[in-house]
Amino acid sequence: MTVADAKGRRWDAATGIGFAIFTAVAFAIPGTPPKADDPIAKIATFFTDHRKDILVGNFLLGIGALLFIWFVGTLRSYLRSGEGGEGRLSAAAFGGGVAGIALLLVGAGVLNAVAFELAKGSQAAPQVVRAVFDASTAFFAMASFGFAAFFAAASCSGARSGALPPWAYWSGSVIAVIQVLGGLALFATSGAFEGGGAFATYVTPITGTLWVVAVSILMMTRQAVPPVARAEP
């Protein structure tokens, strides 16, 4: 491996850190989102009062998504070199990550449409605001299943090949379960698991993002090459 190639691999791995920074800022700018059981008037007011923040935040989220796709591609290559053979698990991790971030972007796009229209001064029917808001919550909840596949497959691959240390694949497995629980927002109407609740808003994204950052640093220090490459039996 040349010096330039090694440096390039480190930059590729660092995209996970870039993703964490952009998404953290994107979600922090608008502030705490409404909850699923909030009245329609409160939801509409949030979009009106935070119109610019939501639009800017979604643009930053788009940049974060670009970096995340780059990261999952880098992680797939990293895990694949340790797996050998067909690389089934690294492929599953890649697919799950892409599916998760795609659904996340759809949910953000739906919210963006509501904020953009309300900010123009048009008075959307309350039922429309509620329906669109609920749709965005559903997309965010569905995204958690894609991310669950990403964390689970990446952890299994790393555990089997030795590409990830125990702390990484055990924590990744736990986070995969947390992501599945995030899907409860599909039908939870109150409490921590509802859309906009503490679990969906903080626990699910924060734990997943921290894992991405940690694995990014791991790949950077290992120059994106697993220490052990095991051949298929």
Neighbours of 32 (CB within 10 A): 12
**Rounded Cα–Cα distance for residues 199 and 178 (Å):** 9
**pTM check: above 0.75:** yes
Neighbours of 79 (CB within 10 A): 27
Lookup: tokens for 169? 């694949």
DSSP state letter for 138: H
What pLDDT is recorded for position 130? 80
User: What does the pLDDT look like over 174-232, one tens digit per residue?
Assistant: 999 999 999 999 998 888 898 888 898 899 999 999 999 999 999 998 754 555 544 44
What pLDDT is recorded for position 233? 38
**Which segments of the chain have a pLDDT < 70?**
1-6, 118-125, 223-233
Q: What is the 3-state secondary structure (H, E, C) of 171-207?
A: HHHHHHHHHHHHHHHHCCCCCCCCCCCHHHHHHHHHH
Spatial contact of 147 and 97, defined as CB atoms under 8 Å apart: yes
What pLDDT is recorded for position 231? 45
Lookup: tokens for 193? 């698991």
Spatial contact of 104 and 139, defined as CB atoms under 8 Å apart: yes
What pLDDT is recorded for position 49? 85
For the chain, where are the E strands, in sequence order?
A: none
Contacts of 150 (CB under 8 A, 6+ apart): 72, 93, 94, 96, 97, 100, 176
What pLDDT is recorded for position 129? 78
